[in-house]
Structure 1
């Protein structure tokens, strides 16, 4: 066998502080005393826990194993290194730091991290395109895509979640790291990944999950460089037509004109047109304002046209091959839902398919025919559905009834869920994978900052967070109408579990009767409220254990918000929590820096664009301030220093290696990451629309913007016009 080759140029060895690893076992902590310095560790002592991992899959009813979590940390470290390499590569994609030379000093510090972000964004766009081809050509597929009749047949339906064979991931099948990164982010949206595996005949991938043994063998235990054999490199290049290294691929993307011609487009031609809103006017494929004119037919295409082309392909698959539209397969509980009758009558989630076939197809074909003259948009598709569900005779025909034309709640949700696949997404997948990778980048960065991978207490730390994850899952099982928000340590175990999709599905359904989704987008104020609720429930369920083992001002304020003096007198849970909190403050190894501790996991936090949300944010800030001041008073009474929150810390955030300052702007750890500059993306990864009448507010909708979080409306503009649709929309 040929010698393995490194994926990228090796980086210089980084120094890691092993005296402050965030979460530690109490018996392993060491007092900070200059006369008794922390013990030194041989580098080999830190590598030993990473070797000889047992990555056999646990049973379906077991949580992820310690060794799986360690392998996951290795992958996250490799991804963090990749992100750093790409974002700091001077002049990559024509984006040089020197672009700021002519800017006033007041803008330079803000624009430099955006240049790094733009490099990474373009790289991720390229990675997603490479992933699409790899998904289609390198991963096994069933003989045909799922058909509607399969869900009405006992023989087919009962096998859907069991169908598929485990892929033998030999060393010669390893994908490049950037492709693996996209698969990783895709799997961390469990319901949409499940849906796409069902619709596109990729159940072997779903059953197999991430190949932990292969990944572990490809990542060096010291440098964390991703390594692959020559056979793997050759196989990937021959099967996909791409180079092994993302950066060795062509400098242009190939985009299909609606009239059937291929257009070569630059990935980006973005420039600093406005230092306050940089890179908004770029017209490359990865840019927000993408446009490209076909040299053969002179037709100009853009991202909106590409979304319509996607809808057109799905419409044709339904009409010609009986393939259900995306978003119409899974029930509200996230499970494939069998029709009650063989002819699919009144199968609620299938309603969009029925009404299209009953007569709406004529309007939709006409609308998508107009792609070629550039007159249609996705809003025209929404409007066509809106008119159709107001047509009583068409609704009765679709549901094969002569009595009622009233839509059931699930039928309305099915339309919104289907439309969410198109609002801000032109890919063949159920969600925008570029946005998914960018949001996961925040979690990857936080794991790198905490740096458990170099901790001498690695195994005991993983054991503790797995136990904590099981309690977290119990909270979700007992409270199906609430959103539970993980801490970073819980989220590591949760993510690791989801990367074995079939086992996670079995575990989730057995515990809750629901396929629990991992909400990829939650409005930031709701996220904080849900975190407070989760913290309180965890404390009650464990008899007083602290949920977030962190002493930053935010976590202190959250703990203070759900305890009281009376509670400490009469509630054993509150008394025990106070004792645990005192021990936490006495532990000198615990950091108050939220970048170094496992507190709230907020990589899925997003903003909405409504005035009501902005008002709610101000209220949230005031509530946190009151709880913070209460925590300060309690600390002073106990003779402790109050939790620090100086102005520089409050109004700064280290993004892409640079400190960003936002004087006068409240920023908290639960808020959407300011390291994502949404205005430079075709689909803003950190925002969703809640404005009535805006894109995403679908078809007499009854759900709020939170619909995007629960596996229902999944696009960046997933809000609907009229309020809340209940627990499935939260």
Structure 2
């Protein structure tokens, strides 16, 4: 089909990238602009998440489109969280990270008095990024506290392996999510720690979606669950808020935070005498993070490796694409084919495309369901490793692409930008209307119509990020 030829897709992709850069400099003047509450063109559509209501009644074999969409939302939350940690000036002070002052003196003429000039500390921003690692050290200590508490609660209180009760604080969710994406390691950890129930947890996609503000990408644990977490596991429900804004707790923890960044010994007992129960529990968690940094390193590295995937998802921003429904539908279909390749080529090393990897990650987040499904479908358990060398991945990807095309007669690696995905979705819709035939499809009309909608959606997202007034969609236009 000419529309989907590599040359045409490349041209569309380049056009999309160019328009994005233009919009970032200056918003389009094609639309009226209003405030958020006046804008009725919502992306993603709330209907995309409708099937989350039924996920705990009859868990789908394959990951649901709504679960994949929630996963995209969650990755945006992770991206936002890391930026807020790195940009926090309070944490700069808490971890003793400051720009180094260096002054050089010079004079233009021999008789002129020397003038001092302060040089910019070019390494300061790099040192600020170290705060993310310190934050993850605390998060990992809290994760171990949470997972032990949840496992005990599931046993003693008969808490079901799904629903709001298994929704953790955001920092714990970051660590848990990355750990689940290394399923063999997670199973070994559960055996080592004698955790009997947590592998049965169905990842709480519905509760995660409800906890996310998709305008700001903030995550808020509901008040009743926050209280339950504090009572059951002694964990504050929002680590970043506690570190930066809860003055009743963080003033005692400030010295501990500095010790975390400098690996110094700390006399905890002397300071606990002046702390109340909540302060004491929080300080002991940070103290555990200091003492167990070597033991926690693999979990911290899990999260740091996943940051690469988070950044890729943020760059594609599928969750804001007008074609997100079609993108995720096609990704689930490709993932099912990808699993079929594992069955057909049991001794081969297979590498997913980015969209397939998103669905694969979504599937693995419910550990026991994933394990049972792939054993039944493929005939063996398929582990997922995220620390494989670049060269091995490139070689494996080339082979996977060849086998995929040979088996399914379809292109494996395709352009996944908004333009290409939106046009493909529109063509598929027209084919359905025309009984599966694309000969009657008006390609030029589709390209023009989709181009207008993609331009609008890009403008909408960039305006939202920049805090500008949002464009209003022209009624009667678009898909």
TM-score by length of 1: 0.43
Counterparts in 2 of 1:441 and 1:511: CA distance versus 1, 3 Å: same
Counterparts in 2 of 1:511 and 1:98: CA distance versus 1, 3 Å: same
Q: Does 1:472 align with 2:338?
A: yes
CA distance in structure 2 between the partners assigned to 1:97 and 1:542 by the alignment: 54
Give the number of the structure whose residues are more often helix, by fraction: 2
Whether the 8 Å contact between 2:102 and 2:119 is mirrored in structure 1 is no
Q: Does 1:245 align with 2:220?
A: no
Out of 275, 292, 295, the residue aligned to residue 426 of structure 1 is 295
Counterparts in 2 of 1:139 and 1:436: CA distance versus 1, 3 Å: same
Counterparts in 2 of 1:550 and 1:112: CA distance versus 1, 3 Å: farther
Aligned-pair CA distance for 1:491: 0.9
Aligned-pair CA distance for 1:285: 3.7
Out of 357, 366, 376, the residue aligned to residue 491 of structure 1 is 357
Q: Does 1:46 align with 2:43?
A: yes
CA distance in structure 2 between the partners assigned to 1:43 and 1:201 by the alignment: 51
Whether the 8 Å contact between 1:50 and 1:70 is mirrored in structure 2 is no
Query: What does the per-residue CA deviation read over 1:670-694, in whole Å, with 9 as the maximum and x for residues that have no partner?
Result: xxxxxxxxxxxxxxxxxxxxxxxxx
CA distance in structure 2 between the partners assigned to 1:231 and 1:141 by the alignment: 16
Whether the 8 Å contact between 1:185 and 1:440 is mirrored in structure 2 is yes
Query: What does the per-residue CA deviation read over 1:115-160, in whole Å, with 9 as the maximum and x for residues that have no partner?
Result: 232111111111111111111224436779xxxxxxxxxxxxxxxx
Counterparts in 2 of 1:527 and 1:38: CA distance versus 1, 3 Å: farther
* Structure 1 residues 365-514: aligned runs within 5 Å: 425-427=294-296, 432-514=298-380
Residue 225 (structure 2) aligns with: 232
Counterparts in 2 of 1:178 and 1:65: CA distance versus 1, 3 Å: same
Whether the 8 Å contact between 1:90 and 1:97 is mirrored in structure 2 is no
Residue 266 (structure 1) aligns with: 256
CA distance in structure 1 between the partners assigned to 2:265 and 2:96 by the alignment: 24
* Structure 1 residues 167-566: aligned runs within 5 Å: 167-170=161-164, 174-247=167-240, 248-249=242-243, 266-268=256-258, 284-285=259-260, 290=263, 292=265, 425-427=294-296, 432-549=298-415
CA distance in structure 2 between the partners assigned to 1:293 and 1:76 by the alignment: 35
CA distance in structure 1 between the partners assigned to 2:59 and 2:345 by the alignment: 22
CA distance in structure 1 between the partners assigned to 2:161 and 2:69 by the alignment: 22
* Structure 1 residues 141-156: aligned runs within 5 Å: none
CA distance in structure 1 between the partners assigned to 2:326 and 2:384 by the alignment: 26
Counterparts in 2 of 1:228 and 1:482: CA distance versus 1, 3 Å: same
CA distance in structure 1 between the partners assigned to 2:30 and 2:353 by the alignment: 29
SS across alignment from 1:54: helix
CA distance in structure 2 between the partners assigned to 1:481 and 1:106 by the alignment: 57
CA distance in structure 2 between the partners assigned to 1:294 and 1:97 by the alignment: 22
CA distance in structure 2 between the partners assigned to 1:31 and 1:49 by the alignment: 29
Residue 653 (structure 1) aligns with: none
CA distance in structure 1 between the partners assigned to 2:9 and 2:225 by the alignment: 41
SS across alignment from 1:539: helix
SS across alignment from 2:197: helix
Whether the 8 Å contact between 1:141 and 1:204 is mirrored in structure 2 is no
Counterparts in 2 of 1:121 and 1:205: CA distance versus 1, 3 Å: same
Q: Does 1:115 align with 2:127?
A: yes
RMSD: 4.3
Counterparts in 2 of 1:61 and 1:245: CA distance versus 1, 3 Å: closer
Structure 2: which 5+ residue stretches go unaligned? 1-7, 20-27, 33-38, 105-117, 244-248, 270-287, 418-446, 452-457, 459-479
CA distance in structure 2 between the partners assigned to 1:143 and 1:78 by the alignment: 31
Whether the 8 Å contact between 1:61 and 1:503 is mirrored in structure 2 is no
Query: What does the per-residue CA deviation read over 1:218-241, in whole Å, with 9 as the maximum and x for residues that have no partner?
Result: 112333321222222222223333
CA distance in structure 2 between the partners assigned to 1:292 and 1:438 by the alignment: 26
Whether the 8 Å contact between 2:78 and 2:174 is mirrored in structure 1 is yes
User: Does 117-126 or 221-230 show the bigger shift?
Assistant: 221-230
TM-score by length of 2: 0.63
Aligned length: 357
Relative contact order: is structure 1 or structure 2 higher (C-alpha 8 Å, sep ≥ 6)? 2
Counterparts in 2 of 1:467 and 1:251: CA distance versus 1, 3 Å: same
CA distance in structure 2 between the partners assigned to 1:165 and 1:479 by the alignment: 40
CA distance in structure 2 between the partners assigned to 1:295 and 1:245 by the alignment: 23
SS across alignment from 2:89: coil
CA distance in structure 2 between the partners assigned to 1:218 and 1:295 by the alignment: 35
Aligned-pair CA distance for 1:168: 4.7
Whether the 8 Å contact between 1:477 and 1:512 is mirrored in structure 2 is yes
CA distance in structure 2 between the partners assigned to 1:102 and 1:542 by the alignment: 62
SS across alignment from 1:483: coil
Counterparts in 2 of 1:544 and 1:454: CA distance versus 1, 3 Å: closer
Whether the 8 Å contact between 2:139 and 2:175 is mirrored in structure 1 is yes
SS across alignment from 2:380: coil
CA distance in structure 2 between the partners assigned to 1:533 and 1:30 by the alignment: 27
Counterparts in 2 of 1:446 and 1:292: CA distance versus 1, 3 Å: same
Q: Does 1:102 align with 2:124?
A: no
CA distance in structure 1 between the partners assigned to 2:295 and 2:176 by the alignment: 18
Whether the 8 Å contact between 1:47 and 1:222 is mirrored in structure 2 is no
Query: What does the per-residue CA deviation read over 1:323-375, in whole Å, with 9 as the maximum and x for residues that have no partner?
Result: xxxxxxxxxxxxxxxxxxxxxxxxxxxxxxxxxxxxxxxxxxxxxxxxxxxxx
CA distance in structure 2 between the partners assigned to 1:483 and 1:193 by the alignment: 21
SS across alignment from 2:61: coil
CA distance in structure 1 between the partners assigned to 2:166 and 2:390 by the alignment: 40
Counterparts in 2 of 1:47 and 1:63: CA distance versus 1, 3 Å: closer
Whether the 8 Å contact between 2:74 and 2:208 is mirrored in structure 1 is yes
Aligned-pair CA distance for 1:441: 1.4
Whether the 8 Å contact between 2:49 and 2:69 is mirrored in structure 1 is no
